[in-house]
Amino acid sequence: MTSLQQRLDAISGDRLRGQKRGLEKESLRAQPDGKLALTPHPAALGSALTHPHITTDFSESQVELITGVHSSVDACLAELTEVHQYTARVLNKPGQSSGDEMMWASSMPCGLPTDETIPIGRYGSSNVGRAKSVYRMGLGHRYGRRMQTISGIHYNWSMPGLDNDSYFALIRNFRRHAFLLLTLFGASPAVCSTFVGGRPHELQTLASGTLYMPHGTSLRMGRLGYQSDAQGTLDVSYNGLEGYAASLHGALTRPWPAYESLGIRNPGGDYNQLATTLLQIENEFYGTIRPKRVIFPGERPLHALRERGVEYVEVRLMDLSPFEPIGISASTLRFLDVFLMHCLLSDSPPDTPDEIHELAHNQHLTAARGREPGLCLQRQGKSVSLMQWGSEIIERLVPIAFALDAAHGGQAHAEAVAHARAALLAPETLPSARVLASMRAEHSDSFVSFARTQSQTIHQYLLSLPWGIKQQGRFEAMAVQSLDDQRAIEASDTMPFDIYLQEYTSPARLGRAAYEPVPLEV
């Protein structure tokens, strides 16, 4: 059997340097008092439908900032910083927003109003714009709008020369070892009580208005996060493109009784959701990592994957770090690069239904109790210490970090791995522990007070960074162009929306007929 080191030695420096990456970072817009800003997406940010770098996620109050594709970590973070700078300036200027808003620094939301008053994203009158809003309306009905206000940061990554099987092997190992990332980088151990109002939960009370888990790492990725009974029936296998596509095809075409009862439209004629199937569209399938492919206009993502294969992976489990101005650091991205290479180069046996259930158990346990001394996870049916398993993985990252440093120069990857090793061995230094320590020491155990202070500090920092007339002009021009592009799309529509929706959600759009749906329970 070929060893990891042999596989690593077989990769040229050019291929290692050929890794590509991009970031998508969500943040709620918040008021100075720590409550959700209910104002529309500021016009000065451009069209949320067509702007290449600034859009909204679920809510009109939730910006999503997007980079292009970059060959270096530093260039990727530099672009994301610049997009943050422009956004902060718009939020700070009366007339473009309320003039006193800021981007919320935490993954878990600020103070929320009643569920039905959280505004869903609006994208204009075009068919594609209306479909985006109807999809979000469906998410609100299915999961609750509050749950959708959770924010995260997604890391898109690729390396030249990988085929579908290689990407799926990477994905299987990523899912096996994702607990380590939740432990090292989880930064959401506490929430504002408004988030769970009226919902059952296992959280403990820390102070008035604040709930938490004493050893929690990432409540966002636990049972409070993107969960539902419907998706709980999905045991999607990652043993190859064909099986993965068939699993998703089944979820996208199988009616779900509760969603059938809701119906596509209400008695008044307004749309409730795009479809009554278990998933409305592919993006509704929540996972820690996804195989992805850039799609053509109007194309379904599943069709793109089936026709042209996997182009990159999207890492979806990273919390926003409230201690970083743009939510993530260069060291964290370099650790992710090393970690993804480890997932790619290590042996990756096929997954099984038993292992899929085991991984879900490990994820929920780590999210809620990841810093608990002596905590054990399940590995191939046996109990293993999280600390022991995590340390074993980190040791295997060392030669990969050295290889990446040899290719790029310097020792930044090795330093990132060394920092992670030290943090794992000193749990009090992990971001989730630092959040609770800061809340305790400086904010009377108040989550909102802590996150509001961090948000205000970051907002002022972004405003203080150098910003030139050319940068301002470039972003203003992008905003104007995006609004023009939206109007052009709206003017070109000729198809009635109900026909557009019927055609877009047709099973025929999902790809080759040779892929037959499989039962949702493996």
For the chain, list residues with pLDDT below 70. 1-2, 96-98, 226-227, 512-522
Q: What angle do CA 242, 246, 248 make, to 5 degrees?
A: 120
Domain 4-510 architecture = 2-Layer Sandwich (3.30)
Strands 210-212 vs 204-207: parallel, antiparallel or unpaired: antiparallel
Q: Which residues of 478-507 are buried (b: 16+ CB within 10 A; e: fewer)?
A: bbeebbebbeebeeeeeeeeeebbeebbee
The pLDDT assigned to 514 comes to 38
pLDDT at 99: 75
Distances (CA, A) of 430 to 2, 182, 424, 427, 483: 35, 10, 7, 5, 42
pLDDT for residue 407 = 97
The answer to whether residues 25 and 153 touch, using CB atoms and an 8 Å cutoff, is: yes
> Residues 120-142: pLDDT tens digits?
999 999 999 999 999 999 999 99
What is the pTM assigned to this prediction? 0.95
**Non-local CB neighbours of 17 within 8 Å, separated by 6+ positions:** 71, 407, 408
Question: According to the model, what pLDDT value does residue 98 have?
Answer: 66
Q: Could you tell me which residues come within 8 angstroms of residue 181 by beta carbon, excluding any fewer than 6 positions away?
A: 317, 318, 336, 339
Distance CA 328, CA 330 (A): 7
